[in-house]
Amino acid sequence: MTNQYKYGREKEIVVAKRLRGSGAKVKLSPGSRGAADLDAEFLTKKWKVQVKSSRKGEPANPSQKDLGRLKSSATKTKATPIIAKVKRNKVEYISARNKRKLKIR
């Protein structure tokens, strides 16, 4: 069994690369203690991103506590709180506020 933290971190890096490929400046948070795993800055918007992944099946949703921390952190920095769900190397971006799926150009 591989390390859960390492698996999650690898998926964070996958999401960071995708966002960079879409023109965002991306900063990965050190360790896994922060409200967001990534900060992404596009020309016209900022995202605070929590990455969720699963080896099989549907990635879990963040806990209510984690969602609250993500939204609060995003509000303070005028960013949009985003949940990035990674399954089989496909990434789906969902607004943590209204649950809508988001596209990046």
Give the model confidence (pLDDT) of 72-97 as tens digits.
999 999 999 999 999 887 899 999 99
pTM, to two decimals: 0.92
Q: How deeply is 24 buried, as exposed, middle or buried, from its count of CB atoms within 10 A (0-12, 13-18, 19+)?
A: buried
- CATH of residue 15's domain is 3.40.1350.10
Domain tally, the chain? 1
| Among 39, 18, 20, residue whose Cα is nearest residue 28 | 39
Give the list of residues 6+ apart from residue 55 with CB closer than 8 angstroms, or none: 7
Range of the domain at 24: 4-102
Q: Is the pLDDT of residue 105 over 70?
A: no
Give the model confidence (pLDDT) of 17-75 as tens digits.
999 999 999 999 987 678 999 999 999 999 999 999 988 888 999 999 999 999 999 99
